[in-house]
Amino acid sequence: MIMKYFIYLFLGLFVIATACKRDKQEELKMTLAVKSFWPNSGKAGTIITINGSGFARRAADNEVTFNGEIAKVADVNDTVLTVLAPEKGTSGQLIIKASGKQVEAGTYTYQNLSMQGVSPLNGPAGTNISVHGAGFSSLSAPAKVMVNGKEAIITTVNDTFLIAAVPVGAGSGPVKVIVDGKEVTGPVFTFQNISKIKPLKGGKGTHVTVSGEGFSTVAAENSIVFNGKPGTVISATGTELVVATPDDVATGPLSVTVNGEKTVGPVFTVVPPPVLAVVTPLSSPAGKDVTITGNYFSIEKDENEVSFNGVKGVVKSADEKQLVITVPAGAGTGNMKVWVNGQETGGPLFKEQNLGVIKLSPDNGLAGTVVTITGIGFSLNAADNQVTFNGVVATVLSATETELQVQTPATVSTGTVNVRVSTLDATGPVFRRAGVMTFLAGVLSAPTGLAIDKAGNLYTLDQNQVKKITPNGDVSSFAGSSSGVSGHGDGSAASALFNDPKTIIIDKQDNLYVKDGDYQRSYVRKITPDGDVTTLVNIAERLPGGLGVDKNGTIFLSREYQGVYKLEASGVLTRIGSGYLSVPQQMVIDDAGVIYYGGGDYYNPFIHKVSATYSILAGDQSNTGYTDGQGNVARMGSPLGVAFDAAGNIIFIDDLNQSVRMVTPGGLVTTITGAGGTYQSFKSGFVNGTLSEAYFKNMNGICVDKDGNIYVMDAGNSAIRKIFLK
């Protein structure tokens, strides 16, 4: 038993001795080095923190001298040695000895000025740092605080405490206090700054690189927030963080917080995933370019990535609405994909082959339109190229390797254009059945205004008559004297009389309403689908042409320079708001009761919106012009008649710029057709064709049928023109 006890004791001592020997060997292997120490001045007893490596594990095994005087070692670990400035020490070298090695740390100065603590030790410009110590007060000059050599602004100071704001662009470096020519150096302040973030736009899951300084190299010690929403740090260095945005990321500034100190950076803007509208061509050999038009692309090329069947292409150019990419070798046949800052959108099928369709010119038209198809890999023999428009075979007029002249088929409809050469098949862009044709010409004398019923019959005013035009183009007198005699008389069809009628509208029950009368007296007349004419209101004054009807059959009219009035069931006129303009032609009223009308002349080049008050929906009250755009960015000439289409958009004509334009309920103006596609100056004529080829002359009436086709009264050409959009 006693023998066993001695054996255990021996083994225990052996283990302890071995461990001590191993620790000693490890100490000897480490290089004794001093990185920094602070403060570098103070009185006897000042606590000095020495940062470095290779210190002995036991405090007693480390010797620290101040100009030869041994100091007391208060504490030690692998990288920090804490000592007290000795009582009999003098200014001079601070030397550390450990494990048989010796190193000079620098000069320590005995003086009243000392530094005992700094907090915080990190932060951005403007951070208030608190410095504790002694000897900060002076009768000759105020104390100075330097951060990495740049002077900070002191806001509070006494003999043992001061507060200073970190200067802009300070950078990381030691904190120093200077008083009466004496100085003391303290610990290193880590300066935090965000110089840039990339990308500046994205969505959930976007990887954002944050560049700057003062970050923690431990990822978890950096807190990244996107407008209050925390992101996930993927990697970290002192100068760069890679962060994934959160699922609920919101537009706002990005901030980085390290050790409780926050640095605010640039704004990160949330945008939707990329939208692909048109990709051309959808087939081509490697090395050729593909153009993607759409929205929400990045203007930085490296923030866009496009793959062809999984093979990455080279982005040659980029803006927010268009990318140009070189087709990679080995693309084969497969779907394209587009990533913008980590947000993915699937694309169409792409074929790597020596046949492709790049562009159609024009990309809209009617039957018989000659279209130039630009592409690659066409046969020089026209007959070897089979071209279809939405599946219907077209006639190829001529061919080169890169260009086909094709005539659209009689039954052309909206759809993709396909080209087949031998065994290869290429899909091209969409061709729209759209354009302008003459519906009726040479029959009307002095027509004005236009309305359409549910059956597609048109109605216009011509020489004191209401004329009816069937969908086949047959014209007849619907109401008023067949000989054009003027007057005022109610009755049925031809027995009724009109006196210079100017505006015509129609309600949901196909009742027509006409503004009628001369300079002394005006009337609003109602005409039923059977042709019976009655007078709704008789006013002893000249009224402008403004007339409208809502979904309930309530009539609205305009009085000169007094805006809009509602015709009550009792026959009384109730003024709406305090508008002062005269409405020139028809008004339209949406289901919510909001009224829209055109300004009608050079002085009022806008679309007005009336509810309880008057406001401008689109156009600029002070400037005419020919510019599409949103709200008051748009410029108009003299918008007259307006009409709703089936989708609730406002279509209006412009008698100055000779064009048909569309305004959405949100105020976005888009030119549809007219002026031969120039859209820059007054250009009139009488030309049919594509939307960009057509000309009009002095339009003064507009309506839209149930299929979305637009009819305009082209008075200057005594014709009714039909505009196809679908």
With vertex at residue 396, the alpha carbon angle to CA 394 and CA 397, rounded to the nearest 5 degrees, is 130
pLDDT at 425: 95
Distance between CA atoms of 410 and 397, rounded to whole angstroms?
15
Distance between CA atoms of 441 and 443, rounded to whole angstroms?
6
For the cut 50, the answer to whether the pLDDT of residue 493 exceeds it is yes
Predicted confidence band of residue 8 (pLDDT cuts 50, 70, 90): very low
Q: Tally Cβ neighbours within 10 Å of residue 89.
A: 20
Half-sphere exposure of 117 (CA within 13 A, CB side): 6
Distance between CA atoms of 391 and 372, rounded to whole angstroms?
18
Distance between CA atoms of 626 and 636, rounded to whole angstroms?
5
What CA–CA distances, in Å, run from 512 to 149, 445, 489, 504, 590?
86, 21, 16, 7, 18
Distance between CA atoms of 193 and 191, rounded to whole angstroms?
7
159-170 tens-digit pLDDT = 999 999 999 999
CB of 694 within 8 A of CB of 435? yes
Q: Mean of the pLDDT values across residues 189-193? A: 96
pLDDT at 581: 87
- Of 112, 116, 32, 104, nearest in space to 68 by CA: 104
Query: How many helices (H) and strands (E) would you count in the chain?
Result: 1, 71
- Of 576, 570, 540, nearest in space to 557 by CA: 576
For the cut 70, the answer to whether the pLDDT of residue 29 exceeds it is no
Distance between CA atoms of 96 and 31, rounded to whole angstroms?
12
CB of 25 within 8 A of CB of 57? no
Q: Which region holds residue 259: left if phi is over 0, alpha if psi is between -120 and 50, else beta?
A: left
Distance between CA atoms of 167 and 189, rounded to whole angstroms?
12
- First and final CA of the chain: distance in angstroms? 107
Q: Mean of the pLDDT values across residues 139-158? A: 92
410-424 tens-digit pLDDT = 999 999 999 999 999
pLDDT at 723: 94
With vertex at residue 629, the alpha carbon angle to CA 624 and CA 635, rounded to the nearest 5 degrees, is 5
Predicted confidence band of residue 721 (pLDDT cuts 50, 70, 90): very high
CB of 119 within 8 A of CB of 129? yes
Distance between CA atoms of 461 and 701, rounded to whole angstroms?
10
Which structure tokens are listed for 364? 């809209």
Per 3-state DSSP, the chain is made up of helix, strand and coil in percentages (nearest 5) of 5, 55, 40
Phi, psi (deg, nearest 5) at residue 243: -130, 140
* Average pLDDT over the chain, rounded to an integer: 91
356-372 tens-digit pLDDT = 999 999 999 999 999 99
Predicted confidence band of residue 619 (pLDDT cuts 50, 70, 90): very high
pLDDT at 645: 87
Distance between CA atoms of 301 and 317, rounded to whole angstroms?
6
Half-sphere exposure of 579 (CA within 13 A, CB side): 28
For the cut 60, the answer to whether the pLDDT of residue 5 exceeds it is no
**DSSP string for 250-275:** -SEEEEEEETTEEEEEEEEEE-PPPE
Identify the H or E element spanning 324: strand 322-326
666-691 tens-digit pLDDT = 999 999 999 887 766 668 899 999 99
pLDDT at 681: 63
Residue 108 CA to its chain's centroid (Å) = 60
Which residues lie closer than 8 Å to 315 by C-beta, 6 or more apart? 301, 302, 304, 305, 306, 323, 324, 325
What CA–CA distances, in Å, run from 271 to 268, 292, 320, 341?
10, 18, 11, 10
Distance between CA atoms of 579 and 565, rounded to whole angstroms?
10
The sheet with strand 182-191 has its strands ordered as 122-123, 182-191, 173-179, 144-147, 150-151
Which structure tokens are listed for 432? 């729209």
Domains of the chain, first to last? 33-110 (2.60.40.10), 114-191 (2.60.40.10), 193-270 (2.60.40.10), 275-352 (2.60.40.10), 356-433 (2.60.40.10), 438-724 (2.120.10.30)
522-571 tens-digit pLDDT = 999 999 999 999 999 999 888 888 999 999 999 999 998 899 999 999 88
Which structure tokens are listed for 22? 């191993």
CB of 602 within 8 A of CB of 569? no
**Environment class of residue 119 by beta-carbon count within 10 Å: exposed (0-12), middle (13-18) or buried (19+)?**
exposed
pLDDT at 680: 65
Of residues 625 and 167, more confidence is placed in: 167
For the cut 90, the answer to whether the pLDDT of residue 580 exceeds it is no
